[in-house]
Amino acid sequence: MRIRLILMVAALLLPHIVLSQDDDKKIRLVLAINVDQLRSDFLYEFENLYTQKGFKRLMSGGRVYSNAYYAFEQIDRASATATVMTGTNPYVNGIVGSRWLDRSSLRLVNCTDDSKYKGLYTNDAVSPIKLKSLTLTDEMKRATRGKSQICAIAPDCDVAVMAGGHAADVVLWKNNDTGYWCSSSYYGLFPSWAADMNKTIVGKSRSWQPFYPTEMYNNYGDKAPKAFNYSFNGSNDVRLYKTSACMNEEINEMAIACLRSGDMGLDDIADFLSVTYYAGNYNEQPMEDRPIEVQDIYTRLDVNIGELLDEIDRRIGLDNVLVSLSSTGYVVEGDGDEARYRLPSGEIHLDRVSALLNVYLSAIFGKGTYVDGYHNSQLYMNRRLIETMKLDKLDVISHAVEFLKSVEGVEDVFTIYRLGGLLSPEMQYVKNGYNANCSGDIWLRLMPGWKMAKDVSAASNLVRRSSVFFPMIIYGGGVTPVVIEDMTVANVLSPELARILRIRRPNDNCLRMFK
């Protein structure tokens, strides 16, 4: 009876103690900084361009994991964000990418599609329904009985929804067609402060020139590159605008407006603000063609982070803030220079491969369309045809694998049958990116230097075998500053933040914790 009484009292006090440290340093806000395509090599290489208030403040005062990575293949911004927020891989959380092929309709679907909800300032109907695991923000809501305020702001819908989780109060992204900030009725009414920002932001002209004199951007080449000058006007070229430093400036404006609109971070219940910046190549062009733009994006991003931290410090006090920084852990490569230097390279047209595979299987098992569709190096087999013809599915797929291994540029072929049972570390890496509800029956791994030709279903991306390492930082919350060079899987960030907040870790997360 006494134990039960103690547990009941603890449960009543839980919302007031789980997110607290000592009395004078309570965590009132979690600031999660997510940077699309941020790379460790570039972060350190451009260090001479930074101020003391952005990256350097976090790196000198936080726990820095300089070689973080995602333990699965075919990473994109949606799968990476879902993984870092849930602590689970796509195999568990269900988000294998921004898009995948729907078996029933053979059409590409977005990871956020949900027709039950109405778009706000957008025609897209979205929700986090396809995200199968709980996120750190979901656990914060549960721990505080719904009192934590959760806000996620990102350039694109998929990242914003994954960062916000299931229980978010505000999730905002920029409409690619109109330039308006938009949301979904899943999250309730559109915030009045965001509507006010739409009145001032949309139609506003922005320009982007080098932050410093061009001779300071000397990290690539001996000669100072030529200056650039890009102009953007409201709703024009929104997709291009999102790859510029101007997008990060606007993200900051929205984040500061969110903080100033209410009492986020001002009481003893910890709130959560997620901001997603961009650090990829401008217009997704090769680094060699746009070296000054990439350096300037990092330079200005450093300033943006510093300005946001200063605003939070004035309003809340950084002693009461827990900050994390992570990346999506991939890089969109432009057309490479492999041919110029006679390096091994090539291009695979998945539509042609599928057509030839259909001919090959028809010759063995009888005439038919055995490949229903393809997307992102994956083939979706016609299961209904195989069942109707009373064929052994394993036998059909085995013959398909035999054929596909003979295709030039294909390094290996994986199927769900092969990924069952005991796996090598390399095969586990492949399985982590698979999910039975949306992945194909067969996955192709290409040789280094090879890429899939661009078609209606997949972007053309150069395949590189080496991982893209990125920095992962925890700042505040009593964390001791240290730099750790060991390779660290990104899955452990949310569980560690949950430990610092003294709440439950997201369900099904990776059990390995930080050192």
What single letter denotes the amino acid at residue 25?
K
Domain assignment present for residue 219? The answer is yes
Q: Are strands 205-208 and 230-233 parallel, antiparallel or unpaired?
A: antiparallel
Residues 274 and 362 in one domain: no
Instruction: Please check whether residue 85 lies inside any domain of the structure.
Output: no
Q: Give domain status of residue 69, yes or no.
A: no
CATH number, domain with residue 233: 3.40.720.10
**What CATH number is given to the structural domain containing 425?**
3.30.1360.150
Rounded-to-5 percentages of helix, strand, coil across the chain: 35, 20, 45
Cα–Cα distance, 132 to 122 (Å, whole number)? 25
Residue 190 within any structural domain of the chain:
yes
Residues 374 and 233 reside in one and the same domain: no
Same domain, residue pair 281 and 215 = yes
Question: Which residue shows structure tokens 């009492």?
Answer: 263
**Residue 339 domain-assigned?**
no
Tokens 């259909």 belong to residue: 358
Residues 350, 327: one domain? no
Task: Give yes or no: residues 403 and 377 share one domain.
Answer: yes
Q: Is residue 509 part of a domain?
A: no
Burial of 70-101, coded b for 16+ CB within 10 Å and e otherwise, reads bbbbbbbbbbbbbbbbbbbbbbbbbbbbbbbb
Position 48 in a domain: yes
Same domain assignment for residues 215 and 316: yes
| Residues 328 and 373 occupy one common structural domain | no
Are 295 and 359 part of one and the same domain? no
Number of domains in the chain: 2
Per-residue pLDDT of the chain (515 residues; tens, 9 = 90+): 444 443 343 443 444 334 444 445 799 999 999 999 999 999 999 999 999 999 999 999 999 999 999 999 889 999 999 999 999 999 999 999 999 999 888 899 999 999 999 999 999 999 999 999 999 999 999 999 999 999 999 999 999 999 999 999 999 999 999 999 999 999 999 999 999 999 998 778 899 999 999 888 876 655 667 889 999 986 668 999 999 999 999 999 999 999 999 999 999 999 999 999 999 999 888 777 788 999 999 999 999 999 999 999 999 999 999 999 999 999 887 666 666 667 777 889 999 999 999 999 999 999 999 999 999 889 999 999 999 999 999 999 999 999 999 999 999 999 988 887 767 887 888 899 999 889 999 999 998 888 888 654 444 444 444 458 999 999 999 999 999 999 999 999 999 999 999 999 997 655 443 33
Q: 307 and 251, same structural domain? A: yes
Which domain, by its residues, includes 317? Answer: 18-63+149-333+468-478
The answer on 175 and 34 residing in a single domain is: yes
Residues 169 and 266 in one domain: yes
Q: Is residue 82 part of a domain?
A: no
| Co-location of 321 and 196 in the same domain | yes
Question: Taking the CA of residue 328 as centre, how many other CA atoms within 13 Å lie in the half-sphere pointing to its CB?
Answer: 27
